[in-house]
Structure 1
Amino acid sequence: MTTLHEARGLTMHKRLPITILAGHLGHGGAEGVVVALAEGLSRMNFEVTILLRGRWIARAIPPGIEIVMLRGTSDRQRVRELQSMWHRRPPKIAISHLTEVNIQTLHARQRLAKDFPVVVVEHTMPSRLINDYTGGGWIYKRNLLRKVRKYYREADAVIALCESAAVDISELAHMPRNKVITINNPVIPSDIDQHMDEMSGHPWLDSTSGINVVLAAGRFAPEKNFEMLIRAFKKVHTARPDTRLVILGAGECGRNYERLADELGIAGYIAFPGHISNIYAFMSRASVFALPSIIEGVPNVLVEALACEIPIVATDSLGGNRELLMNGVYGTLIPLGDEDSFASAIISAIENRPTTEGYRERVKDFEVDSSINKYAQLISELTEKGNANAKST
Structure 2
Amino acid sequence: MKINFLIFDIFGMGGTVRTVLNVANYLAENDYDVEIISVFQKRNQPFFEIDPRIKVTILHDSVNRQKKPKKLMGKIGNRLLKLKSRLIHKDDEAHHVFSLLTDLKMYSYIKSLESGILITTRPSFNIFAAKYAKPGVKLIGQEHLNFGVYSDDLKKAITTSYGKLDYLVTLTDDDTSDYKSLFSNKKVRVRKITNSVPKFEGNSSKLDEKVVIAAGRLAPQKGFDLLIDSFTTVIKTHPDWKLKIFGYGRDKAELQQLILDKKVYNNVILMGPTKEMEKELSKASIYALSSRFEGFGMVIVEAMQCGVPVVSFDCPKGPAEIISHNKDGILVKNGDIDALASSLIDLINNEEKRKVFGKNALVNVKRFEIDNIGRLWLELLGDINGIKKAN
TM-score class normalised by the smaller sequence: 0.7 to 0.9
Question: Counterpart of 1:53 in 2: which secondary structure?
Answer: strand
CA positional deviation for 1:56: 2.8
**2:156 partner amino acid:** R
CA distance in 2, matches of 1:222, 1:270: 18
2:13 to 27, 50, 56: 27
CA positional deviation for 1:127: 1.9
CA distance in 2, matches of 1:153, 1:316: 30
CA positional deviation for 1:22: 1.1
In 2 relative to 1, CA 69–350 (structure 1 residues): closer, same or farther, beyond 3 Å? same
TM-score, normalisation: structure 1? 0.80
2:114 to 76, 90, 108: 90
CA positional deviation for 1:273: 1.9
Question: Counterpart of 1:20 in 2: which secondary structure?
Answer: strand
CA distance in 2, matches of 1:159, 1:326: 24
**2:57 partner amino acid:** V
In structure 2, the gaps of 5 or more residues are 61-79, 88-99
CA distance in 2, matches of 1:75, 1:27: 27
Q: Which residue of 1 aligns with 2:369?
A: 367
CA positional deviation for 1:321: 0.9
In 2 relative to 1, CA 84–193 (structure 1 residues): closer, same or farther, beyond 3 Å? closer
TM-score, normalisation: structure 2? 0.81
Alignment of 1:278-293 (within 5 A): 278-293=276-291
For residues 44-68 of structure 1, give each alpha carbon's deviation from its aligned partner in whole angstroms, at most 9, with x where no partner exists.
1122111122333542433122222
CA positional deviation for 1:327: 5.0
**2:51 partner amino acid:** P
RMSD between superposed Cα atoms in Å: 2.6
In 2 relative to 1, CA 245–38 (structure 1 residues): closer, same or farther, beyond 3 Å? same
In 2 relative to 1, CA 19–252 (structure 1 residues): closer, same or farther, beyond 3 Å? same
Matched, 1:17 2:2: yes
More helix per residue: 1 or 2? 1
CA distance in 2, matches of 1:327, 1:90: 48
CA distance in 2, matches of 1:69, 1:75: 20
Instruction: Tell which has more relative contact order, 1 or 2 (C-alpha 8 A, sep 6+).
Output: 1
CA positional deviation for 1:35: 1.7
**2:4 partner amino acid:** T
CA positional deviation for 1:315: 0.3
CA distance in 2, matches of 1:38, 1:253: 31
Matched, 1:101 2:125: yes
1:303 to 287, 301, 304: 301
Matched, 1:168 2:178: yes
In structure 1, the gaps of 5 or more residues are 1-15, 132-140, 200-204, 386-393
**1:24 partner amino acid:** D
Q: Which residue of 1 aligns with 2:63?
A: none
1:262 to 260, 279, 283: 260
Q: Which residue of 1 aligns with 2:201?
A: 193
Q: Which residue of 2 aligns with 1:313?
A: 311
For residues 118-166 of structure 1, give each alpha carbon's deviation from its aligned partner in whole angstroms, at most 9, with x where no partner exists.
11110111222x14xxxxxxxxx41x22221122111111111111121
**1:100 partner amino acid:** S
CA positional deviation for 1:108: 1.3
2:56 to 64, 67, 71: 67
CA positional deviation for 1:196: 4.5
For residues 197-223 of structure 1, give each alpha carbon's deviation from its aligned partner in whole angstroms, at most 9, with x where no partner exists.
8x9xxxxx9xxxx75111111110001
CA positional deviation for 1:175: 5.5
Matched, 1:118 2:161: no
**2:228 partner amino acid:** I
Q: Is the 8 A contact 2:164 2:188 kept in 1?
A: no
- Percent identity at matched positions? 26
Question: Counterpart of 2:243 in 1: which secondary structure?
Answer: strand
